[in-house]
Structure 1
């Protein structure tokens, strides 16, 4: 493990990857807290525990938080895969860091735009910006693999 962590690009990737995972945990906690505050539970047993079956219901803001979390899962998990492999292809540290920072900031802005219902197209633009480094890393991985195929 120590030899892998001596790879500066991989260490940089791990730093931003862990920040993104922590961000996903924070969104999960926010979603749970909003469920409690709004008394809008997804399961009848939870509603019964918190006041009755009338609280087994949907709430627009709970759903907004949940969608933000699901969107993170759909985008951060592929980034973690691509970033790990990309880190091992030998990119320059400054270029790799740019990829990781742009993705991280794009996902943070996307979450803020989702949770606070910022004016369109803020969320869409944040999504697109975060996808650019993923596409770039995927292409660079394919080029690196094709060289050995």
Structure 2
């Protein structure tokens, strides 16, 4: 069984917790948009707003939902592969840089998707995170093969 050094695990634990908080923050962002636009997913929810309606195509609500979906598609695989990658014994310096950069890229992605929509910032943030996950995946695959 491969041991992960306590220093590596501390870095992973801290920055993973930051990332989970960021992921959890997507819920209030979605709720804020739903109440601001009085757009809900279920009929019984319409009673929460004064003029609420059921709709699945509001562009502002869907923008937040797409950002949240993108997080789920990218962050969950990163958690798994990063944990496995830490078992390959990367240097503390490299692990810190990659983990911090991934987390900050995902935060930047959300900001440039939901709060201050702009390109190419969003694409750059996405590809930074994607590249880190790809590197860790290939490194892990080669190590364990």
TM normalised by structure 2 equals 0.89
TM-fit CA distance, 1:5? 8.1
TM-fit CA distance, 1:15? 1.1
RMSD across aligned positions (CA): 1.8
Residue 134 of structure 2 is matched in structure 1 by: 135
Counterpart-to-counterpart distance in 1, 2:68 and 2:100? 20
How do residues 28-67 of structure 1 correspond to structure 2 at under 5 angstroms? 28-51=27-50, 55-57=53-55, 58-67=57-66
Counterpart-to-counterpart distance in 2, 1:6 and 1:143? 20
Aligned residues: 142
Residue 99 of structure 1 is matched in structure 2 by: 98
TM-fit CA distance, 1:49? 4.0
Q: Is the CA contact (8 Å cut-off) linking 1:24 and 1:72 kept in structure 2? A: yes
- Flag as ranges the 4+ runs of structure 1 deviating above 6 A: none
Q: Is the CA contact (8 Å cut-off) linking 2:11 and 2:96 kept in structure 1? A: yes
How do residues 1-149 of structure 1 correspond to structure 2 at under 5 angstroms? 7-51=6-50, 55-57=53-55, 58-146=57-145
Counterpart-to-counterpart distance in 2, 1:82 and 1:6? 16
Unaligned 5+ runs, structure 1: none
SS of 2:118's equivalent in the other structure is coil
